[in-house]
Every structure is written in structure tokens, then in C-alpha cells.
Amino acid sequence: MPRNTPHSLAPRAASRARRASAVLATSALVGGALLVAPAAFAAPAPGDAPNDLGLTGADVMTHLTELSDISESFADQGYRSWNSPGYEAAAQYAEQVLEATGAFTVSRHAFDVPYSEFGEASLTVDGTTYTGSHFDNSEGTDSPVTAALALPESADGGRLGCEPTDFANVPAGAIVLVQRGDCTFEAKIDNATAAGAGAVFVYNNERPAEEGVSPDDQLTNVGSGPRNEEDSPAATLPQASGDALAALVTAAPVDAPVEGTAVIEKQFLVGQSFNIIADSVAGDPDDTVVIGAHLDGVAEGPGVNDNGSGSAAVLALAEKIAASEVPNDKRIRLALWGAEEIGLLGSTAYVNDLVANDPAEWDRISSYLNYDMIGSENFTVGVYDADRSTFPAEGVNIPEGSVEIEKLYTDYFDTIEQPWIDTEYSGRSDYQAFIDNGVPAGGLFSGADDIKTEEQAALFGGTAGVYMDRNYHTINDSLANVNRDSIDIFAPAIGYAAVALAWDAAAEPSPEPTEPSPEPTVEPTPEPTAEPTAQPTAEPTAQPVPSPSATAGPGSRNDLAKTGSNAEGSPLPAIGAGMLVIGALIAAGTIIARRRPQE
């Protein structure tokens, strides 16, 4: 999961209403206000969980273990980063799993990747070299920059550099030390650039000791916004280095400033990566539910939670969809995105491609579900806050229908009495390109670099006052540090959301039950008498009712051999007589119209 996001795309208002109404129709089943009975996917009785395709944490862990092994085997080659052999190996594994289901057609979607190759990032002062790290898209130095060191200063004495006026006393050409915090890295670099900085080093800010973060820890794999070739060269430093250098600058006489030499070696290149796209064989291709997770990780660690966990859930979901006795009514498109960690590039390229080159196919997508980190070691159960009830999400486009997707999850968790919290609807993962183009979206998130509160620890366990995932983007994001309890909670919710959006029976109420017609009775024939009757009466005969097999072949919508089954993997709850009524209606030739909005 990255810290930066790409440039927003223009929304497509024309398709927004259709998508919103599709999700609204589906979400009615969980709103608690259905005034119809019985419902084919009604809220469960107390103690009964909603249908979730039987997806379990154990199913997810099977694939997560494999992805972990793959990542660890390429530890010296960038683990599962977007252009590494580990990513290719993980992709091949995923493709094998998807193809083995027999329920999906699998393809690769290739896209170009602007990327950087990093060399040295350092600042040398008085013979001591302080090693730094790179921002993903910041500029590098063409040659070493030697200049005086300077600090920004705000009205309250802070060193955050969030306002252009903070740099009023910074001489042109200086190497500026800026403290992390309060505003984006991009803003800090832009403000320093406007002041004519020769180079910029952002040093980590203070963290409480109990968070387990050392002052020597680097800021790694951090974003500074889209590339701007006019920016000053920029890199990061650990807190300890920044504090030590800031103290030297503060103590130096005005007429004898501290000088240093900055080296920020970087090359900007263009490569290629790919997404994996798997379309279900079953389901209406004119109404597509997309469910995605990013498969790539960072080069600093195995990325088992971020985001092997979400990818493993998608693979386990594919197997449950394939095992379902009743096929999905809407097409399900499973997507494993590439190059998410360097700017959401895979999902953005995919959306851009459809919008520009196949708008008809783009308009068939009615919703998107995103799973990015579901096994954080100090987890919370987070649902994307589409209704902005906790987070304002300023500047984020939230399409109509997204609130209803949020409610799918929250009502599910309420039904099983599982606590949950809002997590920011920030566009900071692969749903951004979808919402920017008007597709309703939602998802789940177990937490990354947010601090867990006392209230959250009371709800979910774990440790308050520390990150929700202390291993985020580090070498310790390993299988050993994945929280199985978190996986066990999120997995069935993922199965449930798929059923709720992609099966018509989940969204449509059953017809009112009717009393069965009495069987015709045959009066007994009287014994013949010697005197024959003048008008013999013919006995009534019952008319046969055509069976489903007489009017439809195997696999058709009228083939109900498996409909209503309570076998494991069936997406329809057993509803006894209600389903028998539906079967009889179909057998009699009644057409049950799908409740899809008209184009």
C-alpha cells in the first residue's frame, strides 16, 4: 500500500447513475428495512451467519503461505516488487490457481511503468556521512551539491516547512533540512524549491519509544507526489541524523554556517509490468463486479500482509466461486494489480485503457471491491468510510452507491456481532481510478501506519499506542507476523460481499408463497347396472406440468437441479418451501425478471 496517489481522472457522470442504482438494489437486502417476506437472502436468524461462500481464513492462509514462500525465495532480488523475478513467480502461481478452477478465463494486461533506479543518497558534514533514502519520484543530483545547511522556521519555531514563508530566511542554493509532519512531503519539497534550495532532506519526526520505532529508522519507499523535473533534489534521513544536523546548524555562528555535500543518485526509466485479469465464465457480461488486490510488494520486505494477504483472499475467493453449486448471475472479474506500491500504476493503467479504448466495456462495470492488507499484526476491522461519518475525505470523489457497499460490510459485521470501525476513504489504494471514473467502490483494511487507540484495543485486542502494523514496508512483513485472527474475520466478509453483489437471489426478494392447488380428485366409478345410463360421463384427467428439463438444457437458467441446495459452497441459503415455489413457477413457464436497471 503506497503513500502517494496518481493524478485524478475525470469522472464519467453518464454511467454513475446506472452503477449507483445497481448497488442500491443490491444493498436493500442488508438495510433492515425490507418489507417483503420471505426474502431469498434475508438477514439470518440469531446465531446464523450470512452466506459467505464458505470462505475461511484457512482457505486464505493456504495461498498466503505459498506467496510467502515465493517472496522469501527472492529476498536477494527485491522480493515481490513490481519488476522482480519474485513478482513474475507469484503471478505464475496465481494464474495456475485461477486457471485450475475452470471457472475463469485468465489473461495479462500489460502497461508501461515509469520508474527510478536509486543509487547513493547521503549528506556528508565535517567528514561524517549520514546515509539517507529516496523518495520515489523526487529529483536527483546531477553531481554532488556542496552548500551551507539551513533550516526552515515557522512562526511558532517549528521546522516543518509547510508554508512558503517558513523558508524566508533560507539562502538560495542551501541544503535544507526539513522535519517530517503536518503536511505532505510534496508540499515541503515544493516550498523548498520555491526558495531556491540546492537540495532537500526530510528527516523523520519524533515517535514515542513504546512504538518500537528507532530514531535511526529510515523513511523508505515513500511518495512525494508525481515527478516534477523543476523540483530541487530531495531525499530522506532518519530522525537521529536530522536532529544531530539541525543541532549543528542552530549552534553555528551566522558568519560561519555549517556546510555539507549532498549526493542523491537517481535515474528515471520506463519499464513494463502487468496485471492479472480473470473473468468468470458464468454471469452476465453486461453487469460486471470487479474484485481486486495488488500482488506486488516493496523491495524492502516479503510483503506478506501488504499485500500477499489481499491477493491470497482473491485466489481463495476464486476457488469458492468455482465450487458454488449455483453460478453467479453477474460476471465477476478478479484482478491482481501490479505496480501498486510505486503509485497505483497497474489499476490506473487498466482503468485508463478501458475508458479510452473500450468505453462500452468500461460501462459494464457496476462496482469495485478492494482488499489491501487484511492480516495486520495489531489489526482493526476497518471498513472504507464511504458515508464520511468519521473521515471527511476532502477532495476525494465518492460515487453514488459506495455508501451502500459500505453498508453491506457493516451490516454483515453487525449481524455476526463483530466490532468494526471506519477506515479513511482516501483513494490511497487501487480503488482510486475506479471512483475517479464514477464506479461505486468499497473495501476492507486491517491497518498500516496508523496508531491504535485505547478504544480500538478494547474492541479488537492488541496494543494501544503503536502502529496497527509495525512491520509495514519492512523486512518483518513476514508470514510469522500475520495475525490469523484478523484473516479469520475478514475472509468470510469477503465471500459475503461477493455473494451480495454478484448473485441475483441475494438482492431480489422471493415471491410471496402461494397455497398449492389441490390435486384433482377422481370420483369412484359406480358399479355398472343392468340398465345403461343414457349419458356416460368421462373421468377428468390431470394435465402434466412440464419439468425444467423439458424446456431447457443443462446449465440454462431453468436448470434448477442444484438451486436451493444447502450443500457447502452453495451461494443460496436453504429456504425450503420458498425455493420450491420458485421452482414450480419457473417450471410453469413464469419468467422472473432480473432487477437490473435499464441502460
CA distance 374 to 469: 11
C-alpha grid cell, residue 25: 438494489
| Angle, helix 57-73 to helix 310-323, in steps of 10 degrees | 130
Active site residue 340: yes
Q: Is 560 within 8 Å of 586 (Cβ atoms)?
A: yes
C-alpha grid cell, residue 480: 510469522
Secondary structure (DSSP) of 392-413: --TT----TTHHHHHHHHHHHH
Q: Is 178 within 8 Å of 138 (Cβ atoms)?
A: no
Task: Report CA-CA distances (Å) from 407 to 62, 145, 414.
Answer: 29, 54, 10
CA distance 330 to 507: 12
Q: Is 49 within 8 Å of 412 (Cβ atoms)?
A: no
- Among left, alpha and beta (phi > 0; psi -120 to 50; other), residue 447 is left
**CA trace torsion 26, 31, 32, 36 (10° rounding):** -30
CA torsion through residues 440, 443, 447, 452, sign: positive
Q: Is 319 within 8 Å of 97 (Cβ atoms)?
A: yes
CA distance 1 to 296: 9
C-alpha grid cell, residue 159: 521546522
Catalytic pick from 186, 340, 404, 508? Answer: 340
175's CB contacts (< 8 A; 6+ apart) are: 123, 145, 147, 148, 149, 150, 197, 198, 199, 200, 201, 260, 262
Closest alpha carbon to 435 in 9, 26, 21, 22? 9
**CA trace torsion 345, 348, 351, 352 (10° rounding):** -90
**E strand intervals along 195-310:** 199-203, 234-237, 259-280, 284-294
CA torsion through residues 485, 489, 495, 497, sign: negative
Q: Is 437 within 8 Å of 13 (Cβ atoms)?
A: no
Catalytic residues: 340
